[in-house]
Amino acid sequence: MLKPKIYRPLQALSIVILMQLAINCTSRIPEYLTSEAKEIRSSYFHSSENIDGLMLSGTINETPLFRFQGDEAGPTALIIGGTHGNEPAGFEAAHRLIKQFSDSPLKTGEIFIIPEANKIADQKNNRRIKAPRGVDIEMGNLNRCYPGNSHGLPMEKMAFEITTLIKTHDIDVVIDLHESPVFHLEYIEANSQYHGLGQTLIYTPNEEASWIALMLVDEMNEAIPPGLEQFSLAAGPVQHSAAWSAGEFFGIPGFTTETCKKLPLETRIDYQLKMVGIILREAGISP
């Protein structure tokens, strides 16, 4: 009898499903990344001589740390992308910065980049990763976990490793790339209690950061017609964020760059790159 034949279509289907699962598990490239970022990721992520090490090494949250050293010594910046996985302009910009600094070496200073800081959230287009049942959900939100905890949950450990990096390498400026669903000026105009943070630069209330912030907002707005797309400043990053931690524990300038998700993605990426360029220049790091 040839009875087993009837199982073959099902077996074939199972094999197809298993193969798709295997492809999804091994590629781990977020599907919604732009083709440019996908290309950068495949060219630099696994072979780059500029990978300095892995954050959360040996865990499912493991993610590369890139390092670019200039010809001349100077200040050191840390740029963080992918803190929130549903704010793609930030990690798209971080990928493009990796390509930029790989192709044209820095003249002065040094730059560390963590392009996918909350990698699992970035892959799933989620703001944060899940926290265990009964634990505050914000413990899966990297930007509420600073200065971190070496024995804590994964994002507390990531914050701890970033804090250690700032300390070990004597970082001079921290830039954390973010997005917001609502324009900041939209709600100010509507006289609402709620202020969206789209198109803002949030800065630590220290002198150096304030100076850079003023320069930045003027320069950004020179090229933007009056209206909602103009940038505003917001002093005082939220507690336990990367920028807050930079000011609070190290007394250095910390910035949260916020583009508005109502704008086209490429426009937002351009704004992110321009803000990073201005901050680096004003901090004394020349590309």
Burial of 264 (C-beta count, 10 Å sphere; 0-12/13-18/19+): exposed
Measured from the CB atom, is 83 or 163 closer to Zn ion? Answer: 83
Structure-token pair, residue 241: 């964020």
Measured from the CB atom, is 87 or 282 closer to Zn ion? Answer: 87
- Sorted by sequence, the CB contacts under 8 Å of residue 280 that are 6+ apart come out as 77, 109, 111, 173, 286, 287
Q: How far is the CB of 189 from Zn ion (least distance, A)?
A: 23
Q: How far is the CB of 182 from Zn ion (least distance, A)?
A: 12
Measured from the CB atom, is 87 or 122 closer to Zn ion? Answer: 87
Q: How far is the CB of 62 from Zn ion (least distance, A)?
A: 22
Measured from the CB atom, is 87 or 172 closer to Zn ion? Answer: 87
What is the contact surface with Zn ion in residues (CB under 5 A)?
Answer: 84, 87, 178
Measured from the CB atom, is 41 or 144 closer to Zn ion? Answer: 144
DSSP per-residue codes, 107-149: SEEEEEEETTTTHHHHHHT-SSPPPPTTS-GGGG-GGGSTT--
Q: How far is the CB of 92 from Zn ion (least distance, A)?
A: 14
Half-sphere exposure of 91 (CA within 13 A, CB side): 29
Q: How far is the CB of 245 from Zn ion (least distance, A)?
A: 15
